[in-house]
Amino acid sequence: MTTLAPPAVRGQEPTRSRGGRSGSVLVWMVLPAFVMFVFFGIVPLLGVVLLSFATWNGITPTIQLTGLTSWKAALTNPGLVNALWVTFLIMALSWLVQTPLSILLGTFMARQSRYRGFLAVFYFIPLLLSSAAIAITYKSLLDPNFGLGAGLGIEALNQDWLGQANLAIATLIFVVSWQFIPFHSLIYQGAVRQIPQSMYEAAQIDGAGRVRQFLNITLPQLKYTIITSSTLMVVGSLTFFDLIWVLTAGGPGDATRALAVQMYQLGFQASLMGPASAIAVILVLVGIGLSLLLRRLGGRADESQMEGV
């Protein structure tokens, strides 16, 4: 959402005299958020980094700092490769499914239409629900013995959705998409409305059809929005835990055991807080790395599109 970038004030001489006062007001306004961020963001993060160099079972009153022992244990854990693979698989598949659908839906909803009011209410319901509630609902609906398929007697719906490795991944992607496509189409809807109408009028005069207009005007104009939305999707997919935990608990076997699930199982079930923290640090690093990479791919994504800025 590059349009939200604050207008730059470079070279604006008259503002300089007021700079000091508004600057100090700004500091006071930022302070509460900053304190919260330090207390609930930075401090726990440092704690996790520290824990990753320690050995702790989670219940002893003292924590032993043991250097790289926990890192070695985390990195040599036979489950790590699988967890990385599952994490990237979920990330890639959920991006591939969500992005095209969100763009199409966003574009569709941006147009003047009498169905839009209805859609706006009906379609955004998933956004209001918590992941755990969504997971419980789908788990019940998909149950091969008591679910929708068995209840309605529809054989095609009556698959072992969450009990077979490939199906479980596919189901997970479906539920993730069901939950988040509304949010991303909302972003795209806003972005499409920002595209100057004159561009479409010019294209119409040149005889371009709807598909051509979409491919040659809408898509290129959405470039920065795609990068923003993709960053949210990709980094967000690293944190999927509640949905996976309630739906499959990482199963069947370890087919849906993403890094976050692996971290939870090591820390809270196997009482290995050190290696679990090491995985948490890996997750943070992967998240930062991917965000930076996406910014690079998008060129100067932070450059404002607003005219004259």
Partner 1 sequence: MTLSAGAAAGAALAACGNDGPGGSESGGGGSASYWSLSGEPGEPYRQASIDRFNKANPDSKITPTFFQNDAYKAKIKTALGANQAPTLIWGWGGGGLKSYVEAGQVEDLTSLFGDATLKGKLLPGSFGAATVDGKIYAMPVETVQPIVLYYNKKIFDQVGVSAPQTYGDILDLVPKFNAKGIAPFSLAGQSRWTNMMWLEFMLDRNAGSEVFDNVFAGKAGSWSDPAVLDMLTKVQDLVKMNAFQKGFASTAADTNADQALLYTGKAAMMVHGSWSYGIQKAQGGKFVPDGGLGWMNFPPIDGGKGDPSNTVGNPGQYLSISSKATAADKETAKKFFSTTLVDDEEKAGWVKSGGVPVLANSDSLYTGDDAQFQKDMSAIAAGAKTFAQSWDQALSPTAAEVLLDNIAKLFQLQVTPQQWVDNMNGVIGK
Measured between alpha carbons, how far is 305 from 61 in angstroms, rounded to an integer? Answer: 55
Number of residues engaging partner 1 in binding (CB under 8 A): 43
Of the candidates 248, 118, 266, 109, the residue with the CA atom closest to the CA atom of residue 173: 248
Name the segment binding partner 1 (CB under 8 A); options: 28-36, 154-162, 230-238, 285-293.
Answer: 154-162
Measured between alpha carbons, how far is 269 from 271 in angstroms, rounded to an integer? Answer: 6
Of the candidates 104, 129, 130, 105, the residue with the CA atom closest to the CA atom of residue 119: 105
Judged by CB under 8 A, the residue of 34, 41, 42, 58 near partner 1 is 58
Name the segment binding partner 1 (CB under 8 A); options: 10-18, 137-145, 201-209, 211-219.
Answer: 137-145
224 contributes a contact to partner 1 by CB under 8 A: no
Distances (CA, A) of 168 to 142, 248, 265, 266: 11, 8, 19, 22
Which residue bears the tokens 């490769």?
81
Q: Which two tokens stand for residue 7?
A: 């207008």
Nearer to partner 1, 106 or 267 (CB): 267
Greatest Cα pair distance, the chain, in angstroms, is: 75
271 contributes a contact to partner 1 by CB under 8 A: yes
Cis before 100 (ω within 30)? no
Nearer to partner 1, 64 or 204 (CB): 64
CB of 49 to partner 1, least distance (A): 12
Give me the residues paired with residue 55 across strands: 64
Judged by CB under 8 A, the residue of 229, 230, 265, 277 near partner 1 is 265
Name the segment binding partner 1 (CB under 8 A); options: 106-114, 140-148, 200-208, 211-219.
Answer: 140-148
Name the amino acid, one letter, at 140. S
Crossing angle for the helix pair 79-110 and 165-194, to the nearest 10 degrees: 40
Name the segment binding partner 1 (CB under 8 A); options: 161-169, 175-183, 204-212, 222-230.
Answer: 161-169
Q: Binding string, 34-53, against partner 1, x = CB under 8 A?
A: ----------x--x--x---
Judged by CB under 8 A, the residue of 36, 120, 160, 285 near partner 1 is 160
Q: Which two tokens stand for residue 37?
A: 């961020």
CB of 271 to partner 1, least distance (A): 4
Cα three-residue angle 303-306-307, rounded to 5 degrees: 115
Name the amino acid, one letter, at 104. L
Judged by CB under 8 A, the residue of 57, 113, 130, 239 near partner 1 is 57
242 contributes a contact to partner 1 by CB under 8 A: no
Judged by CB under 8 A, the residue of 69, 164, 291, 304 near partner 1 is 164
Enclosing H/E stretch for 85: helix 79-110
Tallying the residues shown for the chain, one arrives at 309
* Footprint on residues 91-130 left by partner 1 (CB under 8 A): none
84 contributes a contact to partner 1 by CB under 8 A: no
Nearer to partner 1, 48 or 217 (CB): 48
* Chain contacts with partner 1 (rule: CB under 8 A): 44, 47, 50, 54, 56-65, 79, 139, 142-146, 160-165, 168, 248-249, 251-255, 265-266, 268-273
